[in-house]
Chains A and B, each alone.
Chain A
Amino acid sequence: MESNNFAQATEGLWFDVWKRFQRNPIALAGFYVVCCLGLMALFADFLANDKPYYTQYKTKSYFPILRNYLVEMKLGQWPAELLNVEFRKLEGATSFFPPIPYRPSNINLLEPLESPSAKHWFGTDKLGRDVMSGMIHGARISLSIGFVAVGIAVAIGVVLGAIAGYFGSWIDLIVSRLFEVMLSIPTFFLLITIAALLPPSIFLTMAIIGLTSWVGIARFTRNEFLKIRNLDYVTSAIALGASDRKVMFRHILPNALAPVIVSVVLGIAGAILVESSLSFLGIGVPAELVTWGSILHEASSTTFAWWLAVFPGFAIFITVLAYYLVGEGLREVLDPRLRGLR
């Protein structure tokens, strides 16, 4: 009974949060940017692709982009006349291309290092790859690394923090020691070491960023748990015989989430920054992949190609800024102390 009312009260809280969040125009703007970026990442294949949406060839119509998905999932195949064909050069076909008719991996040795033009809005890199396409697909990589890395960090951090805050005494002591050690480790140096020594892969990058950034979340969780644990409703739940796990995860955790949510949003921004730093240094990113950081890497050794520096960097900047604004907005909304001053 009590838990039902409790759940309702929680729902009401989030709705309230959203309403208050909307009152902050800058944070709201950030939120819209975040959504746009997410959409861009999700629909990258429809925004920048060397295959058309629709093509009419030899009196038959096809939807190449969708067909490509099917083929990749082994649920379909290419008809013989469209096998490995370059749609732009296909004779006798009428096609409708996405706004940017290139994939980031399309090498074109005849157009290397071109400055922005009508053909390539953001220019090309030294292999003739379109920069704008690289940026759109790069969003996908950056955001997925951000989300997964933070996901890992949350999983570890929340659990450890909850355990420390709930059980207290010697468990808390040990876990707090662990926090100290983790905080003292030179994180970036450690990341460089691992990323440079092991074969590059996206999953590795996600994992190591996640494994080195959980401490903040853990500390917040622990502090919240310490505070909430002594509140009446919790002590009564325990008195009523609820198991430790139930108390921790059904009673305390939902209320302890506020600072964690803020950390998550800020953490995504942080993870994106770290990842771009790593790929800027040339480590952690597989060779074929074009990421925002890897384009910047090329920019630093081809200094006259300013478009390689300006655009991807700006993309990182906007993404990070948007997430920061949302995070800060959430913090102001969720932090009881600041409510009065605002």
Chain B
Amino acid sequence: MIPTFIGITLVGFLIMRLAPGDPAELRAAGGLGAAAGGGISVEKRGSVDEAVAQWRAQYGLDKPLHVQYAVWLKNLFTLNFGESFKDNQSVWEKILERLPVTVKLNLWSILVVYLVAIPLGIYSATHPNSFGDQVTTLAAFVLFAVPLVWAATMAIVFICGGDFYYLFPPGGLESLEFADDWPVWKKINDHAWHLFLPVVLLSYDGFAGMSRYMRSSMLEVLGQDYVQVARAKGLPEGMVIAKHVLRNSLIPQVTILASILPGLIGGSVIIETIFSIPGLGQLGFESVLARDYPTVLALFTVSAVLTLFGILVSDILLAVVDPRIAFGRRQQ
């Protein structure tokens, strides 16, 4: 666990520090406003250089790399991620502000995936090679191959208020007029309307992957001896499936959860960028562009933690679902 954590944070740290481009100069030049502002004359340049040096010292950017990393690691234990270079707000607060959004988006997406994919997979496995199965399989492939950037762009162009249809909002989490004193159902409706497209877009490749995975795992279980035995005992097919097959075929699905979590931040970047959703993915992208070291590092850390958490959760779930597996050592 620990080496993984160190590994991820170290990678993030090294990349940010070793990349060219200086956040101190960036701040002195007035941030990321695209047009070059009016210049500063040379005599005046002297004091800006001073300010830049001062600023770097303040953030410890003038110390050697390994010292910086050690300092950062130490601060970690007090949950002190420092302040954002962009706007001096506490990085931890910025992340906390956006975490629920990304989590919500992804939880819904996972839920939708499981809800759709598992029944589909079960159906496919119980009626193998039927017309339905073949259609589902083909559909799964096609969906899997649809690039997210294409689907999202098509959505924005055709159904979000451009030249064609206005079925869904062109972005954002809630309407501009969203007021805290709206009735609950209205708030839910508004949120649902805004999140519908992003969730669907995040989940559609999951439908494909999961349902195929469920199908193959269930087929494997169905081919096992004890299933034949159960049938021979005279149990109705439905019960065979419900009592014996399902539980065992669900086992691998649980491990998928562990692999979804690391991609939480990166995976949402495209959706959050296109739909202007203020989540961690968008924060990550903007922070990288602004060379906001503390925020980017914090995000790498959060990702590391999520990964480890995901592994832990899937271990636990696995133990719950599969009584044969004990805690502790697990065969890879």
Partners in one complex: yes
* A contacts, CB < 8 Å to B: 26, 176-177, 180-181, 183-194, 196-198, 269, 273, 276-277, 280-281, 293, 296, 299-300, 303-304, 306, 309-310, 312-314, 316-317, 320-321, 324-325, 328, 341
Minimum CB distance partner of B284 in chain A: A189
Knowing A277-B270, A321-B142 touch, does A299 contact B11 (C-beta < 8 A)? no
Most buried by A among B153, B273, B307: B153
Knowing A176-B332, A183-B262 touch, does A197 contact B21 (C-beta < 8 A)? yes
- 7 A-B interface contacts by CB (under 8 A): A184-B262, A188-B266, A193-B12, A197-B16, A197-B21, A281-B285, A300-B156
Could you tell me the distance in whole angstroms from the C-beta of A184 to the nearest C-beta in chain B?
4
- Complex Cα spacing A306 to B259, Å: 35
Contact stretch, chosen from B108-116, B194-202, B240-248, B295-303: B295-303
Query: How many of chain B's residues have a CB under 8 angstroms from any CB in A?
Result: 58
Verify B11–A316 contact, CB threshold 8 A: no
Verify A188–B267 contact, CB threshold 8 A: yes
Majority SS at the chain B contact face: helix
In the complex, which residues of chain A have a beta carbon less than 8 angstroms from the beta carbon of B144? Answer: 324
- Complex Cα spacing A185 to B11, Å: 9
- Complex Cα spacing A20 to B162, Å: 49
Verify A193–B296 contact, CB threshold 8 A: yes
Could you tell me the distance in whole angstroms from the C-beta of B89 to the nearest C-beta in chain A?
21
Could you tell me the distance in whole angstroms from the C-beta of B8 to the nearest C-beta in chain A?
5
Verify A299–B299 contact, CB threshold 8 A: no
Verify A187–B148 contact, CB threshold 8 A: no
- Complex Cα spacing A276 to B4, Å: 29
In the complex, which residues of chain B have a beta carbon less than 8 angstroms from the beta carbon of A273? Answer: 147
Q: Which 3 A-B pairs have the closest CB atoms?
A: A313-B150, A188-B266, A197-B19
In the complex, which residues of chain A have a beta carbon less than 8 angstroms from the beta carbon of B36? Answer: none
Is B269 an interface position by the 8 A CB rule?
yes
Minimum CB distance partner of B332 in chain A: A176
- Complex Cα spacing A269 to B153, Å: 20
Is B37 an interface position by the 8 A CB rule?
no
In the complex, which residues of chain A have a beta carbon less than 8 angstroms from the beta carbon of B16? Answer: 193, 197
Given A193-B296, A314-B150, 19 further pairs, Cβ under 8 A: A185-B303, A186-B8, A186-B263, A186-B266, A187-B266, A189-B299, A196-B285, A196-B289, A197-B15, A197-B20, A273-B147, A276-B147, A299-B157, A300-B156, A304-B157, A306-B163, A309-B154, A324-B145, A328-B141
Verify A269–B145 contact, CB threshold 8 A: yes
Could you tell me the distance in whole angstroms from the C-beta of B172 to the nearest C-beta in chain A?
15
In the complex, which residues of chain A have a beta carbon less than 8 angstroms from the beta carbon of B147? Answer: 273, 276-277, 313, 316-317, 320
- Complex Cα spacing A304 to B284, Å: 29
In the complex, which residues of chain B have a beta carbon less than 8 angstroms from the beta carbon of A293? Answer: 149
Q: Which of B164, B289, B308 contacts A184 (CB 8 A)?
A: B308
- Complex Cα spacing A184 to B300, Å: 10
B1-32 interface code vs A (CB 8 A; 1 in, 0 out): 00110011001100110011100000000000
In the complex, which residues of chain B have a beta carbon less than 8 angstroms from the beta carbon of A183? Answer: 259, 262
- Complex Cα spacing A296 to B152, Å: 10
Knowing A276-B149, A277-B148 touch, does A324 contact B141 (C-beta < 8 A)? yes
- Complex Cα spacing A181 to B1, Å: 9
Could you tell me the distance in whole angstroms from the C-beta of B322 to the nearest C-beta in chain A?
21
B254-294 interface code vs A (CB 8 A; 1 in, 0 out): 00000100111111011001100000000011001101000
Could you tell me the distance in whole angstroms from the C-beta of A265 to the nearest C-beta in chain B?
13
In the complex, which residues of chain B have a beta carbon less than 8 angstroms from the beta carbon of A190? Answer: 11-12, 15, 266
Verify A185–B8 contact, CB threshold 8 A: yes
Is B321 an interface position by the 8 A CB rule?
no
- Complex Cα spacing A304 to B160, Å: 11
Minimum CB distance partner of A179 in chain B: B332
Verify B148–A309 contact, CB threshold 8 A: no
Verify A197–B288 contact, CB threshold 8 A: yes
Most buried by A among B19, B138, B288: B288
Verify A198–B145 contact, CB threshold 8 A: no
In the complex, which residues of chain A have a beta carbon less than 8 angstroms from the beta carbon of B262? Answer: 183-187
- Complex Cα spacing A34 to B270, Å: 27
Minimum CB distance partner of B145 in chain A: A321
Most buried by B among A26, A293, A300: A300
Q: Which of B4, B138, B270, B291 contacts A181 (CB 8 A)?
A: B4
